Structure 1
Amino acid sequence: MTIEPPSTRTPAPAPPARPARSPLGARDSRFGFMLAAPAVALFLVVAVYPLLAGVWTSFYDQSLVRADRAFVGLDNYTDVWPVFTDRLVNTLVFSVLATLFPVLVGLALAILLNSRLPGRGALRGLLMLPWLLPGVVVSFLWAWIFNDSYGVVNDLLTRLDLPTVDVLGQPLTAMAAVVVAKTWNTFPWVMVVILAVLQTLPREQLEAAALDGATRAQRFRHVSLPHLLGPLALVAMLEFIYNFGSFDMIFVMTGGGPGTSTMTLAVSLYHYAFTEFSLGRAAAMGVLWLISLSVVCGAYFLLDKKLESRT
């Protein structure tokens, strides 16, 4: 009898066992979709549908005072384009000035409040009051201050035997008045952001610079300012985006006047829709406004991404 030698063939490896799928996975997914569905539906109704409806309306001759409408293609865009370029200049002027001055005032006050100033806690609270007021309230307040008949400015000029000025009735001074009101309303939030950054500065670097004989101005330039540039840039971009779409303050104080000196894109769109009752032209102006604002928002996202890559 022959005995066969034992086989040396190694058995094939068993396939890896698949991880058991949790019986709650599908149910959790459905539950997650159910939780997100109301927010998605609200976003579609509140944001997406009005946007698409506005773009669709921009191709029609549609009015608030008549029910019918006619397709006109790009005629609305052709009609509003010269007006858009003119209003875009006013919008950019207002946005730049209404961003620059709050940033400068907020930066100066943040540096002041970061020092050992007596009563700085109460002063911080008082300086926050302009930010807490609604924009319409601030607009009426400053419109009363600059009023040519009974305003505070002309009353002071009269008491000083100086000629009065119709601030809101002249193109240059009207834009300046709106910028002053906007600056007073928005500098506190810039101040708060910069003050928060100043509170997180490395004290070791500041103390080392002081020991090396650096003056306060030199410490700010070489130690504090590099840490502030990123937050300052983001705050300025956000403020510019907000001012680019600002409506209430200009509409209440000047209504876009005198003439068209303070007529921004937002106020112009309002006049198209509710003064001329031309929804088609208003929608075309809104689409052009949206495109220009998208460029600004794109610049903000690029700046934010660049600053994040540095950290």
Structure 2
Amino acid sequence: MAPPAKARERHGQKLSNGAFALLLTLPGMALFAAIVLYPLIASITTGFFKQDLRFPGRTWAGLQNYADVLNRDFWPVLQNTLVFTVGATAIPFVIGFALALALNSGLKGSGFLRGLFLFPWVIPGVVVSFLWMWIFNANYGVLNGALMKIGIIEESVSWLGEPTTAMLAVIITKTWASFPWMMVMLLAGLQTVPRELHEAAAVDGAGAVRRFFAVTWPGVRAVAAITILLEFIWNFQHFDTIYVLTGGGPAGATETFAVAVYQDAFKGYDLGHATALGGLWMLLLLVLVGVYLKTSEREPK
């Protein structure tokens, strides 16, 4: 079969290699522009207008939407988002790492347990949220019943209705859904650490704790960093669990960026305000993505 350049010469075409390559990429570029670039530009532009979804047209507002967001909503929403993101990343990491260490140690029935622990991960997020909504229910929830039976509480607690407990309930729900993924990633990293290194360290008299910090952690550190960063980014933009369980309440105690943007746009009908908040949220996400890319490019030491 003739090379592309010779084929073009045979048919009288005089396209350069660069022009030919551009023609090949045009369909993909057009698709990217239609479904990513245009909506992004339109969204950024909307942040500079006053626009109500209930009425046609819009008026120029300049930076007023961004000023209103920074003076009113941004900082409380940022705080809630960080609390949720850190909690829903750190707790499942600890649980996932502990389970990965147990499964990697040759625990009997580890194959069955690995499959069992993956069960929460394969359930859709909305289904998980409704399941835990039933568990946390103040009137007939399993959690209140169990805690009252063993004497920890004397009366039912409205876990999702109190600002002091709602965020904890949301984090617990997200933890249950996401720890299996972190367990699988960390288990894969642990299985790349040669057992000979552990045996050599044991021969040298190193205990379990010393072997962990001298052998296990250095071998799995790169995988752990990528896993934590990915989970952090996903939690920073998480929506379904929070919206189903609390809708951002009570009194805004669980209102994160994803929920706040949805509420402003589709319940408050203020598209300009929602877009301004979303634009600031996007800038923070870009910083996180940049950190992830730098970390993933770095060679493990």
The TM-score with structure 2 as length reference comes to 0.91
Structure 1 position 145 matched with structure 2 position 111 = no
> Cα distance, 1:217 vs. partner?
2.3
Once the two structures are superposed, the pairs formed by residues 21-36 of structure 1 within 5 Å of their partners are 22-24=5-7, 26=15, 32-33=21-22, 35-36=24-25
Match of 1:136 among 119, 126, 140: 126
> Cα distance, 1:122 vs. partner?
0.6
| Cα deviation 1:181-233 (Å, max 9, x = unaligned) | 11111111111111111111122211111212222222112111111111111
Structure 1 position 74 matched with structure 2 position 63 = yes
Structure 1 position 278 matched with structure 2 position 261 = no
| Cα deviation 1:158-185 (Å, max 9, x = unaligned) | 4346322111111121101111111111
Deviates more, 1:182-191 or 1:155-164: 155-164
Structure 1 position 263 matched with structure 2 position 255 = yes
- In the alignment, structure 1 segments of 5+ residues that lack a partner are 1-19
Structure 1 position 100 matched with structure 2 position 90 = yes
| Cα deviation 1:120-151 (Å, max 9, x = unaligned) | 10110010111111111111111111011121
| Cα deviation 1:221-255 (Å, max 9, x = unaligned) | 21111111111111111111111101111000011
Match of 2:245 among 223, 244, 253: 253
> Which residue number corresponds to residue 58 of structure 1?
47
> Which residue number corresponds to residue 28 of structure 2?
39
- Contact 1:167–1:173 (CA<8 Å) still a contact in 2? yes
Once residues 303 and 218 of structure 1 are traced to their aligned partners in structure 2, the CA distance between those partners, rounded to angstroms, is 26
Structure 1 position 227 matched with structure 2 position 232 = no
Q: 3-state DSSP class of the match of 1:168?
A: coil
Higher CA-based Rg: 1
Distance 1:27 1:129, change over 3 A: farther
> Which residue number corresponds to residue 117 of structure 1?
107
Match of 1:185 among 177, 189, 192: 177
Once residues 21 and 143 of structure 1 are traced to their aligned partners in structure 2, the CA distance between those partners, rounded to angstroms, is 60
The TM-score with structure 1 as length reference comes to 0.88
- In the alignment, structure 2 segments of 5+ residues that lack a partner are 9-14
- Contact 2:139–2:156 (CA<8 Å) still a contact in 1? no
- RMSD in angstroms over aligned alpha carbons? 2.0
Count of matched residue pairs: 290
Distance 1:231 1:21, change over 3 A: closer
Q: 3-state DSSP class of the match of 1:191?
A: helix
> Cα distance, 1:32 vs. partner?
5.0
Once residues 246 and 53 of structure 2 are traced to their aligned partners in structure 1, the CA distance between those partners, rounded to angstroms, is 25
> Which residue number corresponds to residue 75 of structure 2?
85
Once residues 4 and 193 of structure 2 are traced to their aligned partners in structure 1, the CA distance between those partners, rounded to angstroms, is 50
Once residues 117 and 234 of structure 1 are traced to their aligned partners in structure 2, the CA distance between those partners, rounded to angstroms, is 26
Match of 1:197 among 189, 193, 198: 189
- Contact 1:138–1:185 (CA<8 Å) still a contact in 2? yes
Deviates more, 1:158-167 or 1:180-189: 158-167
| Cα deviation 1:43-64 (Å, max 9, x = unaligned) | 2111111110001111111111
Once residues 24 and 243 of structure 2 are traced to their aligned partners in structure 1, the CA distance between those partners, rounded to angstroms, is 40
